[in-house]
Amino acid sequence: MALLQISEPGMSTVPHQHRLAVGIDLGTTNSLVASVRSGIAEALPDVNGDLLLPSVVRYNEMNSVDVGKTALAHASSDPLNTIASVKRLLGRSVEEMDWVANHLPYEFDQSDPVMPAVITRQGNKNPIEISAEILKVLKDRAEQTLGGELQGAVVTVPAYFDEAQRQATRDAARIAGLEVMRLINEPTAAAVAYGLDQTEEGVIVVYDLGGGTFDVSVLRLQKGVFEVIATGGDTALGGDDFDAVILEWVLQQLPGLDVSSHKLMRALSMQVREVKETLTTEPECNFEVGIDSPSKLTLTRTVFDELIHPLVKKTIRTCRKVLRDAEIELDQVMDTVMVGGATRVPLVQAEVSEFFGREPKTDIDPDQVVAIGAALQANVLVGNSQDDQVLLLDVTPLSLGLETMGGLVEVIIPRNTTLPVARAQEFTTFKDGQTAMSIHVLQGERDLVSECRSLAHFELRGFPPMVAGAAKIRVSFQVDADGLLNVEAEEVSSNTRASVVVKPSYGLTDEQVEAMLRASVEHADTDMRQRQLLEHRVEADRVIEAITAALKADQELLNESETADIVAAVADLEQAKAGEDGDDITNAIEAVEQAAATFVARRMNASVREVMAGKTVAEFTEE
């Protein structure tokens, strides 16, 4: 099937000229680079023939950097300068570092609240710099293998990465000297790798359990277009967590181990990973623990399955929820694709097969499938491919919106909206004479600002003063194909503009990512009632401010009794506004409007008389 050709501006290929482009899977445990050669997408090996590059970076004594197996070999002997699983640190701020303290053996400099750095012998290194070292090696490998300079790269990210984590990934690639044509979701890349040879249309579920992240995405293939219709996951759940439960089991068996020893704990971390890999193919694993006087232990696959069962069930619960979000029944799923090294674990395959009622697709190596899919998309974007192109349509993982009066969130782009997308909405001013407006950009699923994540603040200033409600403030949201957000505000009558490219404080916590969607369901009724109450209070403030200003300007139009009635009604409204009953506020607003009806009429008549003063009706009509 000949599908839509996609080329960036100025990137269309010249006849007989093949542009060099790659797909990169920047993984938590291992990373790969792949490219299309002679029409076939394949992972590119290093000089030793290895395809997988361990995502490990060591800052050595020679003031140089080791990456991959060389770094991994020093993980036990030099744990404080050898950084693994750096992907879990991308996009995280100081406030989100408690998780790290319990899982990674590094020392952190937290003087920068936005981006804490790992303390190494070569100075402080932030997660973006560390990730760039991995990407540099992959770039060099590709250029040596392909025999030329790269024109572009497609880099994959977990579908559940937020704006901060995506921006951090893009920044790392730029530091590495890569021209990033697109960031695409890892599950989407896997679907591309499997879907190119499919002629029928239908729904595909991609189950992606890597070293440090879990994603499940529901995609629809229709007329050559892959569209992600729903996605979910956990940015801190993966094969590393299987290692962690084995490690916890070891510590329970041997309570006398010195857990304060960085060297011992790093050696144990590497050892339990080997135990996990052994249990993938063997019924039990015998191993020794300890440095000076090692102790012998045996872990069976049965016990291992019991240890990891809660984690695997957690992924199945996510699958069920994402299908619900997509409004897809199990019998509508055409295929299930397995991605990530952790999907080799037999219990994972068994639970996924049982839930979906069919054997998942494992034709392509689960470690390579993401990089291969990214390479296919890179080949299209750079302008090489003329046939069988695939258009990717990803979605926003969480809703995007603005803060409005009363601490409420107005959603502009709902979650699971297809990318790229542009949406706009008009707002207005709250007070007379207002010449500026503060724009607060938010991400989340709750109705209240306090329950969502703040992405950015900026101000629109300098538009003409007008009466409350007269200004037209058009706020536009644009999310590009990489999931990066640009927000612009414009006062329409004066063309006054302000904008911000959202580069938020890096990172959502693990709990925030998962809890945002769960909380939106659990608190739906409470949020609705709270939203209605706050909307009533905002309306009450508007009425009180308008009446107060009118009394200050034209109180002479009223006698004492009429003034007293209005003042009493306003006082009742103030009291009702302080309460928790929206109906009471509505009734009090109506009482103020009734008390002020005569006053409003007199003000209107006075305004008309002022406008027509000194003119005949005929003169006024002519104007």
208 is catalytic: yes
- CA torsion, ordered 303, 304, 305, 306, to nearest 10 deg: 50
Whether 554 is a known active-site residue: answer no
Instruction: Tell me which long-range contacts 326-330 makes (C-beta under 8 A, separation of at least 24).
Output: 326/203, 326/218, 326/229, 326/230, 326/416, 328/203, 328/218, 328/229, 328/230, 330/355, 330/356, 330/357
Q: Which of 208, 241, 351, 403 is catalytic?
A: 208
Of the candidates 188, 150, 127, 137, the one whose C-alpha atom is nearest the C-alpha of residue 11 is 150
Helix axes 186-195, 369-381, angle to 10 degrees: 80
Distance CA 323, CA 204 (A): 11
Q: How many Cβ atoms sit within 10 Å of the Cβ of residue 470?
A: 13
Written as one letter, the residue type at 233 is G
Instruction: State both tokens at 41.
Output: 């997408």
> Is 327 marked active-site?
no
Alpha carbons 212 and 207: distance in angstroms, whole number: 14
Which listed residue (87, 139, 361, 577) is catalytic? 87
Are the C-beta atoms of 319 and 205 separated by less than 8 Å? yes
Question: How far apart are alpha carbons 44 and 141 in whole angstroms?
Answer: 8
> How is residue 563 written in tokens?
């003034």
Phi, psi of 328 (to 5 degrees): -120, 130
Give backbone dihedrals phi and psi of 382, rounded to 5 degrees, phi first: -80, -15
Out of 96, 163, 186, 565, the active site residue is 186
Per-position b or e across 321-354, b if 16+ CB within 10 A of its CB: bbbeebebeeeebebbbbbbbbbbbebbbebbee
Distances (CA, A) of 357 to 108, 264, 310: 46, 43, 20
DSSP letter string, 9-52: TT-PPPTT-PPPEEEEE--SSEEEEEEEETTEEEEPP-TTS---
- Which of 25, 171, 335, 527 is labelled catalytic? 25
Burial group, residue 263, by CB count within 10 angstroms (0-12, 13-18, 19+):
middle
DSSP string, 275-317: HHHHHHHSSEEEEEE-SSS-EEEEEEHHHHHHHHHHHHHHHHH
The reply to whether 112 belongs to the active site is no
Residue whose C-alpha is closest to residue 532's, from 590, 572, 586:
586
Scored b (16 or more CB within 10 A) or e, 547-562 reads beebbeeeeebbeeeb
Give the residue numbers annotated as catalytic, written as ranges. Answer: 25, 87, 186, 208
